[in-house]
Amino acid sequence: MANLGNTTRPAYVYDAETDTWLPIGVGAHTHDQIPASIVDAKGDLIVGTAADTVQKRTVGADGSYLVADSTQTTGLNWAGPSNIAGKNLIINGGFDIWQRGTSSASSSVYLADRWYQIASGTTTHARDTDVPTGVPVQYSTSWTTGAGSSYGQYYQMIEQDQVKALRGQTLTASFYIKTSGTSYFGNLILRIDYNTTSDTFAGGSWVGLSDNGFTGSSVTSWTRKTNTFTVPSNAVGIRFSLIPDTAQASGVIVRMTAAQLEAGSVATLFSRAGGTIQGELAACQRYYQRFTAGSANNYMASGGIAGSSTDLYMPVKLTTTMRIAPTAIDYTGLRWQIISNSGTISSAVISDANPNLCLIRCTSTGLTSTTQSYMLMTAANTDYLGFSAEL
């Protein structure tokens, strides 16, 4: 301290950084404080970007939440509206539900519930247990080429009741992908299409909205791919698809799982649309539900009435309220039974239906009574009766 007379008085030094005079000799002085001017608005965050370096992260939209995002300078990003069960617009994105079976070489059909598949050439689609580590799924779906000039495709359509409510919003599609077997040639594309007139696969005209293409040989281990886009103001349907840009040689395997479509610009941890496996099944059965025998001579329904010696009308109570009245049925091994008599059903079509109940008209021979109640049975344990209300 400087002395003036017998009184000790402090000396001062000017600090240009803070535009203040600071006393000398009254303790340590450092410039490690973060200036208040770095933030500009309520909710702004101060985030470390490197050693001894900070940066502002601006406040997110109402209802959004912070997620770790290594692609951002701050290591953080805003997502939303909330990370809760049901955020995923893709049904059966974890490939838990396979009501129609677990393998098929047929083209242009549904296999894993809600997933429309195309198998070109000699391609087989199947359920697979190879899944990425740390992702809450037990199955993936795969397509395998059996000869050259073959490939597979996957599609899922989102219906208009959901799409119209999302117009103008930012969505992020994501999934995990892996190729193996013969080296994949060319690109795979995570494509988003939209439709302005219809939410059915065949209806209207689908328009390409956003593509994320990547080389198939770059994903020989499980890799997450994303595609962020804005829903057009006139969108009626949205279609999520995984497609190749060229045919493949024999022995190529492509696996996919944990497919998700959610609000926001960041792909968050995968969750099921239905929240639980049971919830996912109910969501799938809104579009398709199948009754499988499980054993020979299995009961399927009762209360059938013969309209003639060849026509049997059978009401079937649906397990889950469907999206609309079912428009198609599929079946194998159906037969009728009344007391000690039985007969084989040669064909069955929908006579009348609503989302909870379907009346089917079965064609057979030897129907013996128009006054007694018939039962609908199956002949083998693999026989089934299915109802579809798919888009």
Low-confidence ranges of the chain (pLDDT < 50): 1, 82-83
Note whether 103 and 126 are within 8 A (CB). Answer: yes
Q: Does residue 117 contact residue 125 with C-beta atoms inside 8 Å?
A: yes
Q: What is the pLDDT of residue 45?
A: 84
Q: How many CB atoms lie within 10 A of CB 29?
A: 10
Long-range contact pairs involving 303-308 (C-beta distance under 8 Å, separation at least 24)? 303/373, 303/374, 304/336, 304/362, 304/373, 304/374, 304/375, 304/376, 305/370, 305/373, 305/374, 306/367, 306/368, 306/369, 306/370, 306/374, 307/370, 308/367, 308/370
Question: How far, CA to CA in Å, does 318 sit from each of 84, 98, 315?
Answer: 29, 18, 10
Q: How many residues does the chain have?
A: 391
Q: Model pTM?
A: 0.82
Q: What residue ranges define each of the domains in the chain, with the CATH number in brackets?
A: 2-79 (no CATH), 103-285 (2.60.120.260), 288-388 (2.60.40)
Give residue-wise pLDDT tens across range 278-295. Answer: 999 999 999 999 999 887
The pLDDT score that the predictor gives to residue 82 is: 47
**Residue 61, pLDDT score:** 64
Residue-wise pLDDT tens digits, 309-366? 999 999 999 999 999 999 999 999 999 999 878 999 999 999 999 999 999 999 999 8
Identify the pLDDT of residue 20: 77
How many CA atoms lie within 13 Å of 268's alpha carbon, on the beta-carbon side? 24
DSSP string, 226-250: EEEEE--TT--EEEEEEEESS-B-T
pLDDT at 84: 62
pLDDT score, position 7: 60
